[in-house]
Amino acid sequence: MLTTLAMLFSLSSTPLLVAEAASSEVDVKLVLAVDTSRSMDFEEVRIQREGYVEALRHKEFIDAVRNGLNGRIAISYFEWAGQVVPGSVIEWTLIETQQDAMAFADALERRPINTQRRTSISAAIAHGAAMIVSSPFSGMRQVIDVSGDGTNNSGNPVAPTRDRAVEAGIVINGLTLMLRPSGAPGGLDKYYADCVIGGPGSFVLPVHKIEDFAIAVRRKLVMEISGLPPPADIHRIADTAKTDCMVGEKQWQDLFDR
């Protein structure tokens, strides 16, 4: 089964290098997939980065890790836009102590801040799924945490990619940056609910003000690590009319047809 999934979500990068990680049982394998497309300005990308660093250092994050059945998680990180950003990957790291979390946050803080063209949520999901199925850890749960501020407009269609990941037992959650109009009918959070997230308990957490980002990230990480159900004010997959999951591609094409 693992071989089949690895073929579906193959990585073109070098093999994962994780010290003392083989056969480690963790409560969750968590991939942080962070949008750095140019629809966000440099200041917004900087605040987004600081939000992740702050959340990873926060006591609530550490407590959530310690309170799990195994008391440890495996976490990785990468940035994406039209593709996964080369050199942005922070490989799988075992988080068991406060020092582990601080070291991971420090590694993220040291990364240069850049933005790139286009938006391929499908590439982010596919890469995150490939990292999960090829991970040396054994996780009780497997989660891809996708943050973004726009619809898929590059690469493969997002919905079929999402479906393959969910079929592989992966939960996909979303954090939508709704600082400006995205062009998604009904809002970017509805687009994510219909086209991006999936799996048992999956949810979308919208952010309307950039200063709220750090709290939102921390809130989402705690829910993902703890396996808690989302509260009523966080959107789950809706029963209302579905969004056109190709809306981003169509809007991009319209720019060239004018």
Q: What is the Cα 133 distance to its own chain's centre?
A: 15
**Which residues are bridge partners to 93 per DSSP?**
75
- Predicted confidence at residue 8, as pLDDT, reads 57
Burial environment of residue 83 by CB neighbours within 10 A (0 to 12, 13 to 18, 19 or more): middle
Q: What mean pLDDT is predicted for residues 147-176?
A: 95
- Predicted confidence at residue 9, as pLDDT, reads 62
Does residue 177 contact residue 205 with C-beta atoms inside 8 Å?
A: no
Q: What is the value of pTM for the model shown?
A: 0.87
Average per-residue pLDDT for the chain: 86
- Separation between Cα atoms, residue 201 and residue 227, nearest integer Å: 8
- Predicted confidence at residue 122, as pLDDT, reads 97
**Which residues are bridge partners to 32 per DSSP?**
77, 145
- Predicted confidence at residue 186, as pLDDT, reads 87
- Separation between Cα atoms, residue 44 and residue 132, nearest integer Å: 28
Does the pLDDT of residue 164 top 90, yes or no?
Answer: yes
- Separation between Cα atoms, residue 244 and residue 73, nearest integer Å: 35
- Predicted confidence at residue 258, as pLDDT, reads 40
